[in-house]
Structure 1
């Protein structure tokens, strides 16, 4: 009951209005166990006060009115007239009031003296204020009350709801982003695999080039060695042959060559 009075007094909305939005969004939330215990207490209270034994027809739950009850003649409640309609009819309340006034005057219960003029003046001023000034004052007070209601209750709650809604949306977006981390991890893994494959192929190409260079080196060394041995063998054979030819053999060979040339020329 105190919590209900606290909410109706507008202090809760005033407190919400003074709090910045970031503090409203960062307000600590209850745990699931605390919420479950609170819901259980609400269920017990609801079962006790609004159970099947509660006679809501004859004893309805009291509801606070947003506006005052309608009145007649500026101050008499409307429900007094409607309560007398079944027995006295529509004119019954007015006849009762007139008869009561006549009884008070005739029995001198209400003694008219020189101060009665003040009563008439006060009554006239009261009726004038109620009928002429009352609607404007009522409208002004209702607008002021509505502004106070909006400033201390409706707008802070709406701002708090908007802040919490934005926080919930941000949390949902964060959850959605975290769900995408799985695909991002797979993409990064594939990217790393491609990088490893690229490095592997580069190293494989480098190893192939190194082995090819070494094989070419050994082949060049072998070819150079064979070419050197061949040249050395040819030079040695030519040198040995040249050294084995005597001057006489050289002269005879020249003569034979000249004779062969002459024979070829004659032919």
Structure 2
């Protein structure tokens, strides 16, 4: 068996696997990198197919990684392999099969017993002893579990948390941009109302200007009418006074003066008697 591993078959498999990895990593020359929206659409399409109504979740459930390994026998062999033989061969069947398979491989020289052969059973014997040892087994298990948890934290949880924080930050930025876009409508409405107020103020100012101009013209007409009426009244009074003055003779003036004097004397005597 180990001699087969030392042949070129294993080397070709490893080299082929390495070539496949290189080909899977190197992109095509003319292929452009997909955008973020394209990756999201592809992810949604794959989820719709994988978790769609045609998926038989009862017979083919979603695969999950168990937290602990399956029960094992002899330190490394799964217990389910042994239970497969029990209904047909009994309890000793798996061990007989394992021994017979080993003898068959040695007879066919698939497993060659040479100087390197003892490395294989010695290695697995050491693994079995370490895994079943009450002192080293739990410590080794705890050490490997810590390493797995640390690797899981480094390769999975930490990048996922970083991506989650980055996406939450992007979501908050987008929400802030949406709020800014919403406030833009209010700013536009406020500017529109401000322009309407300016137009209303200009309209009222023009109405006031038109009112003042019309009032000035009406006041001018009223002033013209009042001046004309006053001029006519003054002219009429002056004409009547001058006409009356011209019609009074000197004799009438003298008699009028004497009458006034007599009236004043009577008033003076009455005032004295009353005192």
Displacement of 1:133: 0.9
With normalisation by structure 1, the TM-score equals 0.51
With normalisation by structure 2, the TM-score equals 0.50
- Which digits, 9 at most, give the CA deviation of each residue in 1:206-229, with x for residues without a partner? 422332233223312431343234
Displacement of 1:130: 4.1
Residue of 207, 227, 231 corresponding to 1:204:
207
Aligned to 1:127: 129
Residue of 254, 257, 270 corresponding to 1:254:
257
- Which digits, 9 at most, give the CA deviation of each residue in 1:118-169, with x for residues without a partner? x99x969972564221222122221222122122222212331343254346
Counterparts of residues 102-117 of structure 1 (less than 5 Å): none
- Which digits, 9 at most, give the CA deviation of each residue in 1:6-52, with x for residues without a partner? 9xxxxxxxxxxxxxxxxxxxxx94456x877x68x979xx9xxxxxx
8 Å CA contact 2:75–2:132 kept in 1: the answer is yes
Counterparts of residues 83-102 of structure 1 (less than 5 Å): 83-93=84-94
Counterparts of residues 8-157 of structure 1 (less than 5 Å): 29-30=35-36, 70-93=71-94, 127=129, 130-131=132-133, 132-157=135-160
Change (3 A) 1:173 1:258: closer
3-state secondary structure, aligned to 2:233:
helix
Change (3 A) 1:96 1:220: closer
* Structure having greater relative contact order (Cα 8 Å, sep ≥ 6): 1
Distance 1:230 1:96 in 2: 150
- The answer to whether structure 1 residue 242 and structure 2 residue 245 are counterparts is yes
Distance 1:126 1:159 in 2: 40
Displacement of 1:205: 3.0
Distance 1:178 1:252 in 2: 105
- Which digits, 9 at most, give the CA deviation of each residue in 1:97-119, with x for residues without a partner? 8999xxxxxxxxxxxxxxxxxx9
Change (3 A) 1:126 1:83: closer
Aligned to 1:107: none
Aligned to 1:218: 221
Unaligned ranges ≥5, structure 1: 7-27, 47-55, 101-118, 263-267
What RMSD, in angstroms, separates the aligned Cα atoms of the two structures? Answer: 5.3
8 Å CA contact 2:76–2:128 kept in 1: the answer is no
Distance 1:252 1:42 in 2: 137
Unaligned ranges ≥5, structure 2: 1-16, 23-33, 51-58, 102-120, 266-275
Distance 2:254 2:64 in 1: 153
